[in-house]
Amino acid sequence: MDILITPFSSNSFMLQALIAGILVSIACAIAGTFVILRGLAFIGDALGHGVLPGIAVAILVGFPGIIGAAIGAGFMIGGITLITQRSRLSSDTAIGLLFIGMLSLGVVIVSRSNSFSGDLTRILFGEILGISVQSILIQLVATLVIIAIVIICRRPFLLLSFDPEQAEVAGFSVRLYHNIMLFMIAITVIVSFQTVGTLLVFGLLIAPAGAGALLSRKIETMMAWAIFFGVLSMYSGLLISYHFNLAAGASIILVTVLIFFIVFVIQNIRHRRLVHPQELTRG
């Protein structure tokens, strides 16, 4: 029992990492549920990588990385909206163009500086074991904002996820609430990169929510499962990294993916057991 509790009770950095991780898990589970339902996985991935040049420039000029991430996400969302509205190109095309463009720009900026060796690792994989109290407070505020957005926009978000035309009939602007949803996803990516990095935040957006979607069709239950799997992944990943001296962020994401496939296999086995008796009865 000590190996499960002592790492957090005896090390303040592990406890702070766990608290930050729980907040990140809640934010990513809520936003990730709508990413799954709306089929926005590509834009979630694009935002996770597209903020790289903003973060790089911010660090170069001495500003906090989170400010650069916000600017980078703003350019991404603004660019996607502009290209989609002013051309015949689909949103996927716009996302793909900006995704590769912003990522390439970030790599160019990093390659021109000799001071990015440590910062680049922190940007890509986070610094959950070195998270500060200030960063935890920022994550707490962001998580509360995300919860508030979902509570306020619950009905239009539900209609958007299942029947956008019905949302228009009900008097909700599809474009407005789609942009609000993108804003919520952007907040999640911007703030969470400090904990798990730009590369790994996408895993927390997709894997727990994906596992939740396999277990339930009700959106509230999906979110609850996603939060549970996210928190479980955080706790287990931190323990594994502590006891086996492994990278914390990567360990957490590997656990989330493993949980998804465990749920996937169990659900398929259950489905087969339900289907075969019916086939035998019909025979």
In percent, the amount of the chain with pLDDT more than 90 equals 39
- Sign for the CA dihedral angle at 86, 90, 92, 98 comes to negative
Residue 225 has pLDDT above 80, yes or no: yes
pLDDT at 223: 95
Q: What is the pLDDT of residues 134-163, one digit of tens each?
A: 989 999 999 999 999 999 999 999 998 888
Residue 280 has pLDDT above 50, yes or no: no
Tokens of 142: 């962001």
Residue 196 has pLDDT above 80, yes or no: no
pLDDT at 118: 56
**Where exactly are the structural domains of the chain?**
2-274
Residue 250 has pLDDT above 60, yes or no: yes
| pTM of the predicted structure, to 2 decimals | 0.88
Q: Report DSSP letters for 5-56, one per residue.
A: HHHHHS-HHHHHHHHHHHHHHHHHHHHHHHHHHHT-HHHHHHHHHHTHHHHH
CB atoms under 10 Å from CB of 101, counted, come to 15
Residue 178 has pLDDT above 60, yes or no: yes
Q: What is the pLDDT of residues 84-118, one digit of tens each?
A: 888 888 778 888 888 888 888 887 887 776 665 55
Residue 130 has pLDDT above 80, yes or no: yes
Q: What is the pLDDT of residues 35-93, one digit of tens each?
A: 998 888 888 878 877 888 888 888 788 888 888 889 988 888 888 888 888 888 877 88
Q: Tell me the mean pLDDT in the region 248-259.
A: 91
Residue whose tokens read 């998580």: 143
pLDDT at 170: 87
pLDDT at 235: 95
Instruction: Tell me the C-alpha distance between 272 and 266, whole Å.
Output: 10
* CATH for the stretch 2-274: 1.10.3470.10
Tokens of 198: 């730009």
Q: What is the pLDDT of residues 15-32, one digit of tens each?
A: 999 999 999 999 999 999
Residue 240 has pLDDT above 60, yes or no: yes
pLDDT at 258: 96
pLDDT at 279: 53
pLDDT at 281: 52
Q: Does 213 or 126 have the greater pLDDT score?
A: 213
Residue 195 has pLDDT above 60, yes or no: yes
| Arithmetic mean of pLDDT over the chain | 86
Residue 269 has pLDDT above 80, yes or no: yes
First-residue to last-residue Cα distance in the chain: 52
pLDDT at 119: 62
